[in-house]
Structure 1
Amino acid sequence: MAVTQLENIKNCVLQGQMINKQEALIISKAPLEELGAVANDIRAHFCGNAFDICTIINGKSSRCSEDCKYCAQSSFYQTQLKEYPLLDTETIVEQARYNEERGVLRYSIVTSGKRLSAIELDQICASIRTIRQQTNIAVCVSLGLLNEEQFRQLKEAGVSRIHNNLETSLSFFPNICTTHSHADKIAVIRAAQKAGLNVCSGGIMGLGETVEDRIDMVMTIRAMGIRSIPVNMLNPIPGTPLATYPQLTNEDMCRIIAVFRFLVPNASIRLAGGRGLLPDKGRQCFLSGANAAISGDMLTTSGISIEEDMKMLAELGYKAVLWNE
């Protein structure tokens, strides 16, 4: 594809136009170096040097009733998993303070399972209130398929954002999970938005989906007004159905990130799970349109230290800020 065609689509985006699926498919085939450079220009135009870095804590690790085929915590598969109940307030708050002291501005509590019980939700809310009393860090949660009333309870406790990944496109979703649906995910996101919460939603790349599936997923997210989009790379876990799937390359991820930047130019496009598998830990993706990341350890896999990430961001000219809050 000629550079001029890519530049024409870029100019449309810079003028505030939302590109369509066909245009996204066209740019997905552009030479990678040019595609990444143009996507980075779009990122700089809409987001400047803002970089939204967050951390997560695995607040509850247990066998889950859902059959998500990538997940080490699913009760359907035989995997190596350290199990424990919901963490106590002291542990959750201590980790929040640790992250804030290292310059992290957003902290997310993630729990396994389809949803928390009422007792567990009360306990989480108590932990969140303590975090908000003792720190200035923003709190995000990923607690499963909750309803609007439960989201209002979380907002009152001090949560500003919820995370709920679509994971993939509507058409491909049944290949990844059958115990809940894509529509269930959408309903949860809508309930959180009705409760007045910001939403973070993205997916996992490398599940066997097509380029079209990836574009469809982001266009659905865009249509819901979501501007925080985590992009996970499948980390094949032994014992899961996807254990033997090939790992995506650095080039694959840079291309995915660049196309997503064209689709949602003002978003926090966040490198998330699997980033540690990349040889450069995401550096080239941060020059191809990405402007956010999850730092530290993931849920069941190790990640990249906050200190390493902060050093990289400084070298790339980024500044840690709360973006799309």
Structure 2
Amino acid sequence: MSALEFIQECQEKVFSGIGISSDDAKKLLDIPEENLKDLAKCANEITRDFNGKKVDVEQLNNIKKNACSEDCTFCGQSAFFDTGIETYQLPSPEEVVIKAQKAKEEGAESYCLVAAWREPSTKDFEKVCKIINEINDKVGITVECSLGFLTPEQAAKLKELKVKRYNHNLETAKSKFPEICTTHTYEDRLKTLGIAREAGLELCTGGIIGLGETREQRLELALELGRLYPEEVTINILVAMPGTPLELQTDLPNSEIVRIFSVLRFLLPESVIKISGGRESKLNDSGEELLQSGANGIITEGYLTMGGNEAKKDRELIEKIGLQS
């Protein structure tokens, strides 16, 4: 069987509802370079068949920045590293409402509140709930949250407040995780995802590629995501932050990025697969190729510690390739 025939056979497994095996996923990720465009094309066809032409466009609000107690080696917000970024605490609900309204007017479908801490204190969680209430009352945009570790009671409260989706990234493969973080475990992250799911929240999870992991470890992460089957997968491309242990990390080749996005689509035909941090600075086309290689979502207007494309520019990019924002 040729490489192309194998890719097409795997695509047919997805279309028929059988799905691909872990061995299939490994072979797809290792497909010869000359067949990479075939892999991307078939991933794109799966995307269009299951998800249509719609691109999920999201905006973030980093509502509490820096001084996080965790030692994630990629993160410019960790209190362990001197990265020189600005710091601030939770803003007023009124400030967030203004930004959420702007995001809605710019075409964002969802607005994600993100906070840099291990977990919210009771007092901070109450403040976040007030912010969510104000957005619901005054803006009417879908609210998502990324607030670190959750208790079952907190997750239930977010569900009560009509939060749609909870983001908690696995960051990397389980076998790589101890090199990336020592202040909590991979199992801690899985536990929070389970708590969110049990409360009825949709899941958004994923990680960062380019941390120095092997291709096999990217596969390991992809298979774990396939097992969890989240409604949304968010994949960041490392932007090395000065002052962090990974500041000199070598960039991944573009072909490796296309491979993992494409294979994720074979594993997760129905999920939103979102190109997140690093899209503008690490790709020469802001994600245009990836949106035709399995991805069907983007974050616009910036990330937790860096800026991004203006919403108008991203809408033009999406329309240019015949998709819809």
Shorter-chain TM-score range: over 0.9
Asked whether the equivalents of residues 73 and 245 of structure 2 are also in contact (C-alpha less than 8 Å), the reply is yes
Per-residue deviation at 1:316?
A: 1.9
Asked whether the equivalents of residues 227 and 267 of structure 1 are also in contact (C-alpha less than 8 Å), the reply is yes
Asked whether the equivalents of residues 6 and 27 of structure 1 are also in contact (C-alpha less than 8 Å), the reply is yes
Find the aligned partners of 1:251 and 1:215 in 2 and give their Cα distance: 15
Asked whether the equivalents of residues 126 and 157 of structure 1 are also in contact (C-alpha less than 8 Å), the reply is no
| Residues paired across the two proteins, number | 320
Match of 2:192 in 1: 188
Asked whether the equivalents of residues 57 and 299 of structure 2 are also in contact (C-alpha less than 8 Å), the reply is yes
Change (3 A) 1:130 1:112: same
Asked whether the equivalents of residues 201 and 226 of structure 1 are also in contact (C-alpha less than 8 Å), the reply is yes
Find the aligned partners of 2:98 and 2:266 in 1 and give their Cα distance: 39
How big is each residue's C-alpha offset from its partner over 1:199-223, in whole Å with a ceiling of 9 and x where there is no partner?
1000100111122222222222222
How big is each residue's C-alpha offset from its partner over 1:60-102, in whole Å with a ceiling of 9 and x where there is no partner?
0121110100000111111121001111111111110000011
Match of 2:47 in 1: 43
How big is each residue's C-alpha offset from its partner over 1:242-294, in whole Å with a ceiling of 9 and x where there is no partner?
11011123332212111111111111110001111111000000111100111
TM-score, scaled relative to structure 1: 0.96
Find the aligned partners of 1:62 and 1:291 in 2 and give their Cα distance: 30
Match of 2:309 in 1: 304
Asked whether the equivalents of residues 250 and 279 of structure 1 are also in contact (C-alpha less than 8 Å), the reply is no
Per-residue deviation at 1:59?
A: 0.3
Moved over 6 A (4+): none
Amino acid at match of 2:141: I
Match of 2:265 among 230, 249, 261: 261
Find the aligned partners of 2:251 and 2:138 in 1 and give their Cα distance: 41
Find the aligned partners of 1:178 and 1:256 in 2 and give their Cα distance: 26
Find the aligned partners of 1:233 and 1:15 in 2 and give their Cα distance: 32
Query: Structure 1 residue 318 and structure 2 residue 323: aligned?
Result: yes
Asked whether the equivalents of residues 140 and 162 of structure 1 are also in contact (C-alpha less than 8 Å), the reply is yes
Per-residue deviation at 1:232?
A: 0.4
How big is each residue's C-alpha offset from its partner over 1:291-316, in whole Å with a ceiling of 9 and x where there is no partner?
01111111101111111111111222
Asked whether the equivalents of residues 139 and 160 of structure 1 are also in contact (C-alpha less than 8 Å), the reply is yes
Match of 1:276 among 271, 280, 290: 280
Query: Structure 1 residue 20 and structure 2 residue 21: aligned?
Result: yes
Find the aligned partners of 1:57 and 1:15 in 2 and give their Cα distance: 39
Same amino acid, percent of matched pairs: 35
Find the aligned partners of 2:230 and 2:197 in 1 and give their Cα distance: 10
Per-residue deviation at 1:136?
A: 2.2
Find the aligned partners of 1:147 and 1:77 in 2 and give their Cα distance: 28
Find the aligned partners of 1:180 and 1:71 in 2 and give their Cα distance: 14
Match of 1:154 among 142, 153, 158: 158
Amino acid at match of 1:20: S
Runs of 5+ consecutive residues of structure 1 not aligned to the other structure: 321-325
- Equivalent residue runs for 1:27-176 within 5 Å: 27-30=28-31, 31-176=35-180
Amino acid at match of 2:316: K
Match of 1:293 in 2: 298
Amino acid at match of 2:226: R
Structure 1 residue matching 2:55: 3-state secondary structure: strand
Structure 2 residue matching 1:55: 3-state secondary structure: strand
Amino acid at match of 1:118: T
Find the aligned partners of 1:4 and 1:198 in 2 and give their Cα distance: 35
Structure 2 residue matching 1:319: 3-state secondary structure: coil
TM-score, scaled relative to structure 2: 0.96
Amino acid at match of 2:48: A
Amino acid at match of 1:297: G
